[in-house]
Each structure stands twice: as structure tokens, then as C-alpha cells.
Structure 1
Amino acid sequence: MAEYPQLLHTAIDTTDARALAEFYRQLLGLRYRQGDDPPAAGEVDDADWLVLVDAKGARKLAFQQVERLERTTWPGHDVPMQMHLDLTVASRAELERQRERAESLGAQLLLDRTDDPDEPLYVLADLSGHPFCIFVA
């Protein structure tokens, strides 16, 4: 018996579960949990809960369909971000490459803090407006 609860995955609300799951699948190199793959061409995609797993099958992220989601106003505080993901890369060159990849997948740049010598980073928003950071570890 475990002494503490174990983290299964992080669930993220979105008004388009498939689109957001696909964004993170491509960005992070994950795959769909068995049974969560997109439907065949011409079939309706009515998924309201999707899970992404790593190469070993460990759950990483889940996406929950919601009717309405108010986009954060960060860095303002009218609508707080409530949560964000931190992603790391090994070098400045990789930081730039991953920012470009994220933007090509539809992310929006919110903050460029690459001039920070101790922790250069970008804050981006995913397709649903959830902020995430990419920084050099």
C-alpha cells in the first residue's frame, strides 16, 4: 500500500478536447491512450475526455470538454491562469526551436524572457488559452 496518493495525470478543461489533445500530442511527442485515437475519416468525433500517454503507457495529460472556458488575462489578474505547465529543454538553441514548433502548432507567445541570464524562458498560450512555459533547465 502506498503511503501517499499517486498522481495519475493532469486534466485540462477545453472547449475542443480533440484539438487541444492533438496540440499537446504533437508538441510533447505523446500518443493517445488506447481507444482515444481520432475516429476514421467521415466519422463524428464526440470525444469529451481524452488521455495522452508516454511511450511506456504512463498517463501524462487528459483533456475534458467543457461548454465554456474563459481565457486567462495573464499577466493581468482579471481572469487568473489557475494552472500552467512548465516544460524544459537542454539549451538556448533548443528553446528557440521548441518555441517555433509550439507557434507552428498554434500556440501564442505571451512573454519573452529570454534576456534573463539565469532562466531564459518563453510563456506561451495553448489553443484554449492555457499558459505554459518552456525554459532552459
Structure 2
Amino acid sequence: MAEYPQLLHTVIDTTDVRALAEFYRQLLGLRYRQGDEPPADGVADDADWLVLVDANGARRLAFQQVERLERTTWPKHDIPMQMHLDCTVSSVEELQRQRERAESLGAQLLLDRSDPADEPLYVLADLSGHPFCIFVG
């Protein structure tokens, strides 16, 4: 039987590791890997790599500090997306609720395609400008 590499997690570059990890922690209901939790009050956060896990402890997303990050210009192609995350919800009502939640966490709406009945969706940008989609699926 052939052996294949196993996907550990998806790593997202950012100029602010803690802020982006916290954004996705809240948006997706994840938690920090043990040892990656925010520092105690008043302690400087010098994290340059953080991992988020699901309720079972499986790694889902990691965040890596970079000095500079060019925001995508999508839907123009001057600076392409390069990658994006797809998230699904159960209904059109939940789609709207999750869009509002994402925006309250700092996301920016890039595309509103919530009208088509076959696949309503929103494309948003996270705090570092990485696009992600939320759609009914």
C-alpha cells in the first residue's frame, strides 16, 4: 500500500501573528495549541508562529510572522490571491450572520454574491488581506 504525506495544517503569512490567529480563533471557534495562548496581561507578545487546533486537538491553521506582506488586489490580478480559505454555513440566514460576525472581527467585504440561489456567498479579507469565502453548502 502506498504511503502519502499527511496534511498537518495550513500556514498563513501575516505581519501580526497574534491578531490574525485571534481573528480566525474567534471566527472558526478554534483554540490555541497548548503553549500558544496569549501572554498574561501586561506581558509583551513576541510570537512569530502560532497554531490553532480544533476541539479534538487536530491542527487546523498556523500563522507565521513576515516582515512585509503585499495585500491582494483581487478581483484585479495585479497581486493575485495566491490562496484562500472556503468556509460553509447551513443557510442563507446563517450566511448573513457569519458575514456580520466576520466584519465585527475586522474582516472587509470584497464581494457580495449572496443573491444567486444556487450558491450564495461572500468573499471577505482577513486582517492581513487574505481572502476567504463563506457560502451555503
After TM superposition, the score normalised by the length of structure 2 is 0.98
Distance of 1:76 and 1:13 partners within structure 2: 21
Local SS of the residue matching 1:61: strand
Specify the SS of the correspondent of 1:8: coil
Q: Is residue 118 of structure 2 the alignment partner of residue 128 of structure 1? A: no
Q: Distance in 2 between matches of 1:112 and 1:83?
A: 19
* Large movers: runs of 4+ above 4 Å: none
**Residue number in structure 2 paired with 1:89:** 89
Percent identity between the aligned chains?
A: 86
Equivalent in the alignment of 2:58: 58
Deviation by residue 1:72-103 (Cα, 9 ceiling, x = unmatched): 00000000010000000000000000000000
Instruction: Work out the CA distance in 2 between the residues paired with 1:115 and 1:96.
Output: 11
1:77 aligns with 2:84: no
Instruction: Look up the equivalent residue of 1:131 and give its one-letter code.
Output: P
Q: Could you tell me how far apart the structure 2 residues matched to 1:51 and 1:82 are?
A: 21
Give how far 1:2 is off.
Answer: 6.7
The 3-state SS of whatever aligns with 2:35 is coil
Question: One-letter code of the match for 1:130?
Answer: H
- The one-letter code sitting in structure 2 at the alignment partner of 1:63 is F
| Paired position in structure 1 for 2:44 | 44
- Which amino acid is 1:16 matched to? D
Q: Which residue does the alignment assign to 1:23?
A: 23
Which segments of 5 or more consecutive residues in structure 2 lack a partner in the other structure?
none
Q: TM-score if structure 1 supplies the norm length?
A: 0.98
Inter-partner Cα distance in structure 2 for 1:2 and 1:25:
35
> 1:103-131 CA distances to partner (integer Å, 9 max, x unpaired)?
00000000000111210000000000000
Shift of 1:44: 1.1
